[in-house]
Amino acid sequence: MTVKMYFSLLVPAIISLFPLGQASLPLVINTWPFKNATAAAWSVLQSGGSVLDAVEKGCARCEAEQCDGTVGYGGSPDETGETTLDAMIMNGDTMEVGSVADLRRIKNAIGVARAVMEHTEHTLLVGESASVFAENMGFIAEDLTTNKSMNIFSQWLKGNCQPNYRKPVSLPPAGRIRECRLKNMIPDPTTSCGPYKPRAMLKQSKRAQHANRRSHDTIGMIAVDGNGHVAAGTSTNGLKHKVPGRVGDSPIVGAGAYADSLAGGASATGDGDIMMRFLPR
């Protein structure tokens, strides 16, 4: 399902951007019907701005508007009730990338990602250190929690923390389903809240099932100017009820988005934990 979802976005993006050299430029394309984000990016290109400025402004609009609840502050609280953000921006001319993940207290994640690209030799900054970097760069620290996100978290706690992303047992090796040893957790994450700890290894006779993954609607944007310069970017608040510290696919080059002014651009959304295992290739 994830592979199908990825290609359903990748192929139209490539065809739309570069149909045998007949594309009408400049051009802005993004995932899902986030029209205000598209319009914000388009206005930058129309006024002669760069593709990087366009992508940053477009994604920032979604962050401010909390597009679909999956972008920006006040959405997708983790197991502790905190909202954290991931973002990435890529320059298709220079192949430079700036990314942040598990960003706390800073609403403008795409702006911080660009600061990583333009003011450091690094590609990705993560967690509290990324937040400190952002504050040092002049970004304002704010509470990313809202009444809506706290209500989502409270309802989740009342429901015994269901669903969640903990494995009650480990997956068996291929071809050894009956003989494998599966690790149980205490308490049982399928019925109880944590904190969770590993229990002794116990033999089981049936295969553990994957949890059903949710929340894939996030923004990925590609901008192309009249000269064919390409940039791509992403921004998201990740999976609802994720394990704290989780880094998704959106800030990962080639999994969340990619840009190359000599070839094109692409963005993807889906089950990020699976996508990162196969992308980039």
Q: Which residues are annotated as a binding site for substrate?
A: 246-249, 269-272
Question: One of 2, 83, 84, 218 is an active-site residue; which one?
Answer: 218
**In terms of Cα–Cα distance, which of 272, 279, 280 is closest to 70?**
272
- Tracing tokens 């050299």 back to the chain, one arrives at 21
The encoded tokens of residue 62 equal 């979604």
Binding-site residue numbers are 246-249, 269-272
β-pair type (124-126, 97-103): parallel
Q: Which residues contact 61 (CB under 8 A, 6 or more apart)?
A: 34, 36, 37, 40, 41
Which residues does residue 88 pair with via DSSP β-bridges, in sequence order? 99, 234
**In terms of Cα–Cα distance, which of 107, 26, 119 is closest to 60?**
107
Reported in sequence order, the residue ranges of the chain that DSSP labels E, i.e. its strands, are: 27-30, 85-91, 97-103, 124-126, 181-186, 197-203, 219-224, 230-236, 257-260, 264-267
Measured in whole angstroms, the distance separating CA 62 from the mean position of its chain's CA atoms is: 13
Q: What's the Cα-to-Cα distance from 178 to each of 32, 175, 252, rounded to whole Å?
A: 43, 9, 36
Active site residue 218: yes
β-pair type (197-203, 257-260): unpaired
Q: What distance in Å separates the CA atoms of residue 73 and residue 86, rounded to the nearest whole number?
A: 11
Q: Which residues are catalytic?
A: 218
